[in-house]
Amino acid sequence: MNPTHREPWIRIARRDSIAAWHGWLIRLAGLLLALLVSAVVIYLIVRLNPIKVYSAMFEGNFGTNRRMWVTFRDIAMLLCIGIGLAPAFKMRFWNIGAEGQVLVGGIATAAVMIYCGKFMPTWALLIASLLASLVAGAVWGGIPAAFKARYGTNETLFTLMMNYVAIQLTSYFVAVWENPFGSNTVGIINQRTQTGWFPPLLGQKYMLNVLLVLVLTVAMFVYLRYSKHGYEIAVVGESNKTARYIGISVKRVLIRTMMLSGAVCGLAGFIAVAGASHTISTSTAGGSGFTAIIVAWLAKFNTFVMVLVAGLLVFLEKGAIQIASQYNLNDYASQMITGIILFFILGSEFFTRYRVIFRGRKGGR
């Protein structure tokens, strides 16, 4: 007796392609569904009006001029790191070491501000700090790339372990530069003279932070999309064998691209120290190196889309803090809302790559 084959009620199939508008429609549906589910959870757990809670989240980000610019500052920081990860990820080099690259860039910036701040004007100090952070980040990114190219080491573990080396290196320099002595902190560098600090532009303290990252956003988009190097990165990311066949030196592209990735992350350290906190500590990166992985991945390495993703993540983080303080909620309740929204946003990416096919239907959604 021949067994009969029964078609499953539901199947998942990979999409060959998807129109851009269709993909964005799926993402928008995921966001709206996330807000709806979060509203239900908010009401069931804390008996609060969800609209008021969402208003509080907006208030936490844009309620005052200072809050708004702090939000823009944090978006710029997260976006800068995401931009740094984009070329490495597009090449399929899993750079998990952005946190460490930011820290060494911050160490280099702090060193220039501390040792050269007494005899260099601010404009020269900013240029020197910028160059030092780029070099430090490039070296930190180039080390795992060189080992990968020469010995075939695992870049995920290598870059991750270098984060811990950078943390210990930062702790060492904090001990060397501690001010006042015995405080185990560096304190505000050049607090009296403010040499090496980003100057205000148009009356805004963080305007230069935002402008630098916006320029970088455009530059990296053009580099990856239209330059010869960007083409080589894409080919190496698709297939090393194909790259070698058409004459591309995979090792050279690997090292060059990771040095660029590390340099941009080092630049984020420069922005954090010279343009925001004016100090250095093990928390200077603040976990942004790992959050930026989500930014780069969700945006599919498109730096313009990264602006939206980074903005959403910062909005959720600050909004969670605001509703926790405004409604006397513990961190778990506010983070639950953030988690639900992120879950649906990440889940919507699944449906941009795969379609659901029900029994008896040829197509799918």
- The confidence score (pLDDT) of residue 44 equals 81
- Contact, 148 vs 93, CB < 8 A? yes
Domain contains 94? yes
The answer as to whether 338 is a domain residue is no
The pLDDT tens digits of the residues spanning 298-340 come to 888 999 999 999 998 899 888 888 888 887 776 676 677 778 8
> Mean pLDDT throughout 173-184?
85
Q: Work out the percent of the chain whose per-residue pLDDT is above 70.
A: 95
| Angle value at C-alpha 267, between 265 and 273, nearest 5 degrees | 110
Contact assessment for residue 137 and residue 104, using Cβ atoms and an 8 Å cutoff: yes
- Among 28-32, 113-117, 175-179, 263-267, top mean pLDDT goes to 263-267
Looking at residue 89, its pLDDT comes to 95
Going by pLDDT thresholds of 50, 70 and 90, the confidence category of residue 1 is very low
Q: Is residue 325 part of a domain?
A: no
What pLDDT sits at residue 364?
52
The confidence score (pLDDT) of residue 41 equals: 82
Residue 188 lies in a domain: yes
Is residue 361's pLDDT more than 60? no
Contacts by residues 247-250 (CB-CB < 8 Å, ≥ 24 positions apart): 250/149
| 290 occurs within a structural domain | yes
Question: Residue 10 and residue 291: Cα distance in Å, rounded?
Answer: 34
Structure confidence by residue, pLDDT tens digits, 254-298: 999 999 999 999 999 999 999 999 999 999 998 899 999 999 988
Please report whether residue 34 resides in a domain: no
Own/partner contacts of 24-28, CB < 8 Å, gap of 24 or more, are: 26/348, 26/351, 26/352, 27/345, 27/348, 27/349, 27/352
**Structural domain containing residue 156:** 74-307
Measuring CA to CA, how many Å separate 103 from each of 74, 192, 320?
16, 24, 26
- Maximum CA extent, the chain: 93
Question: How does the average pLDDT of the chain come out, rounded?
Answer: 89
**CA dist., res. 308 & res. 272, Å (int):** 21
13-27, 56-70, 218-232: lowest mean pLDDT where? 13-27
pLDDT band at 363 (very low <50, low <70, confident <90, very high): low
Residue in 34, 118, 77 with CA at minimum distance from that of residue 336: 34
Q: 2-16, 85-99, 184-198, 206-220: which has the minimum mean pLDDT?
A: 2-16
Structural domain total, the chain? 1
Between residues 113 and 360, which one has the greater pLDDT? Answer: 113
What pLDDT score was predicted for residue 94?
Answer: 93
pLDDT of 359 > 70? The answer is: no
Provide the pLDDT for residue 7.
Answer: 66
- Is residue 343 a part of any domain in this protein? no
CB 209 within 8 A of CB 77: yes
Would 217 be classed as within a structural domain? Answer: yes
Tokens matching residue 197: 């600090």
